[in-house]
Amino acid sequence: MDAQQNAPTAPEAPAVPGRMTEAYSAGGHDYTFAEFGVGPGGTARNPAAAEWVRAIRQGFHQAEPCEETLERTLSWMHAERVRLRGAYPHAVPEAALPTDRPVASFASWEGSVNVGRGRLLRARLISEVTVRPTHSRRGLLRRLMTADLDRARRDGYPVALLTATEATIYGRFGFGAATFLREVQVDATTRLQLKAPTVGTVEMADGDAVRRLAPVLFQRFHERSHGSVSRVAYHWPEYTGEYQLTPQKPDPEIRCAVHYDDAMQPDGYVTYRFEPNTSYPLTLTVVDLVGATPDVSLALWEFVTSLDLVDRVRFRRAPVEDPLAWAMVDRAKYRVTAEFDEVWVRVLDPVAALEARPYTPRGRIVLSLVDSMGYADGIWELDTTSGRPVVERLGDRPRTADDDAGRSVPAVELPEGADVAMRVDVLGSLYLGAVKASTLEQAGLIVARDEDALRDLQDFMETPTAPYGVTHF
């Protein structure tokens, strides 16, 4: 790429990497949007992608990347075939960052989400969204998001997923908070007493070996745990201490242990770090805990709470409905210190998304979906009477004043013939069963024909367990 560096003015569009997607002017600036991938050969062969990585680290207030961080980031992005998007300014004033450093970034790649009964649904995963503060609120994010979701819809992805830094940003793009996690603290001053004996055995393990084993064990968890999202290559060095992209060095304090079944086959692992033991209570932080089955996770908890010189154990990725709290003899030793949203779901194709997940009731319900970006807008019928869900688009919904005004978060009205109506972000929140329809109706987010219609919706969307995943991306 040969974009002009530090040019005071540039009369025409800069040369951008990959494919130019759009030219755009706002706030007195001209921008070119581009889309590209990461090839083999690291920074030497991908200078535009390296500049893009510098931009995202700046956007998240992280240190300028060292060579190893750049190589590792480009390596996982190449392996996962990540699509990078950027907005490039045509001109920058003296001393400003160069024109080949994008002022806005956006990445997406293919992954999967477990939608229940072990079904893995293809999903577009979105991350690394940044807009340089001096170029924000000019519509750059909206353009990047629209381009990527358009492409994902064309490529047949039923849903897009992201994890959000702020809860206020993504509803307008049709994303709804769909899985939640807890930060918990378990008092470990006395060995954890569980109501039933745990299974298998635990052995301390070598970090390199766990790094090789972890993707396989995670896959078993992913295929079992409804709500789980696939991981990518950068997670393993991060969670086993080999290398952390922030603060750009190994973490030799991370220790690992593996759980084995009765045949001594590995079926889970935990990685953890002792916090500096200069203050009390002595604290162990669990970095990653993955059990192929819930009883394996309990055994791993028993292990970390039985270590000497540990007064309490912290974990930031515990399930909202945590079997551990119920398995403990003394539940008072389990304390929830925070609860937060994790994965946000955006339904792009209601037929593919709603037909993919399982339902318990047999019946039929008509949903009116409001989607200001258009993909899921309309009236849809979900019919499970045959035992297999069939979803059909019945037609358009009547336009409203908010539609005509082009509002990104329009009001919801119940059209003739529909049982329930909601915006598509609300469907995203219901999709994996994290929240009851009645709660969302009480929050003013669902309009139902009557109580029966609301109960039907609730019965359809409810899942046997709360969705749970341990992937942050």
Q: At what angle do helices 424-431 and 451-461 cross, to 10 degrees?
A: 50
Euclidean distance between CA atoms 58 and 221, whole angstroms: 34
By the rule CB under 6 A, 54 interacts with ligand ACO:
no
Q: Which of residues 390-429 bind ligand ACO (CB under 6 A)?
A: 408
The minimum distance between CB 355 and ligand ACO, in angstroms, equals: 27
Whether omega for the bond prior to residue 247 falls within 30 degrees of 0, making it cis, is yes
The minimum distance between CB 115 and ligand ACO, in angstroms, equals: 21
The minimum distance between CB 106 and ligand ACO, in angstroms, equals: 8
Q: Is 144 exposed, middle or buried (0-12, 13-18, 19+ CB in 10 A)?
A: buried
**CB nearer ligand ACO, residue 39 or residue 133:** 133
Of 64-72, 122-130, 192-200, 298-306, the segment contacting ligand ACO by CB under 6 A is: 122-130
Q: Phi, psi at residue 277, to the nearest 5°? A: -90, 45
* Coil vs helix vs strand at 354: helix
Element at 364 (helix H, strand E): strand 364-370
Residue 473 designated active-site? yes
Whether omega for the bond prior to residue 464 falls within 30 degrees of 0, making it cis, is no
By the rule CB under 6 A, 244 interacts with ligand ACO:
no
By the rule CB under 6 A, 246 interacts with ligand ACO:
no
Of 134-142, 229-237, 281-289, 421-429, the segment contacting ligand ACO by CB under 6 A is: 134-142
Alpha carbon distances (Å) from 137 to 27, 59, 140: 9, 14, 7
The minimum distance between CB 127 and ligand ACO, in angstroms, equals: 5
Residues 6+ apart with CB under 8 A from 47: 1
Of 137-145, 188-196, 259-267, 356-364, the segment contacting ligand ACO by CB under 6 A is: 137-145
The minimum distance between CB 348 and ligand ACO, in angstroms, equals: 16
**CB nearer ligand ACO, residue 337 or residue 408:** 408
Q: Phi, psi at residue 149, to the nearest 5°? A: -70, -35
Which one from 170, 173, 218, 221 is the annotated catalytic residue? 170
Residue 303 designated active-site? no
By the rule CB under 6 A, 245 interacts with ligand ACO:
no
**CB nearer ligand ACO, residue 28 or residue 387:** 28
By the rule CB under 6 A, 57 interacts with ligand ACO:
no
By the rule CB under 6 A, 207 interacts with ligand ACO:
no
Contact 104, 133 (CB under 8 A): no
By the rule CB under 6 A, 103 interacts with ligand ACO:
no
What's CA 436's distance to the chain center, in Å?
A: 21
Of 124-132, 150-158, 284-292, 459-467, the segment contacting ligand ACO by CB under 6 A is: 124-132
Q: Which amino acid is at 161?
A: L
DSSP 43-97: HHH-HHHHHHHHHHHHHTTPPPPPHHHHHHHHHHHHHTTPEEEEEEES---TTSP
**CB nearer ligand ACO, residue 249 or residue 407:** 407
Among candidate residues 262, 272, 339, the one with its CA nearest the CA of residue 296: 262
129 is in an annotated binding site: yes
* Interface mask toward ligand ACO for 149-168; x: CB under 6 A: -------------x-xxx-x
**CB nearer ligand ACO, residue 282 or residue 412:** 412
Of 138-146, 274-282, 430-438, 439-447, the segment contacting ligand ACO by CB under 6 A is: 138-146
Looking up tokens 């301390």 gives 204
Contact 370, 423 (CB under 8 A): yes
Which one from 36, 180, 218, 473 is the annotated catalytic residue? 473
| Total of residues contacting ligand ACO (CB under 6 A) | 22
Among candidate residues 104, 124, 19, the one with its CA nearest the CA of residue 56: 104
User: Which residues are tagged catalytic?
Assistant: 170, 473
* Annotated binding-site residue numbers: 129-131, 137-142, 165-166
* Annotated binding-site residue numbers for acetyl-CoA: 129-131, 137-142, 165-166
Q: Which residues bind ligand ACO (CB under 6 A)?
A: 59, 126-131, 136-142, 162, 164-166, 168-169, 172, 408
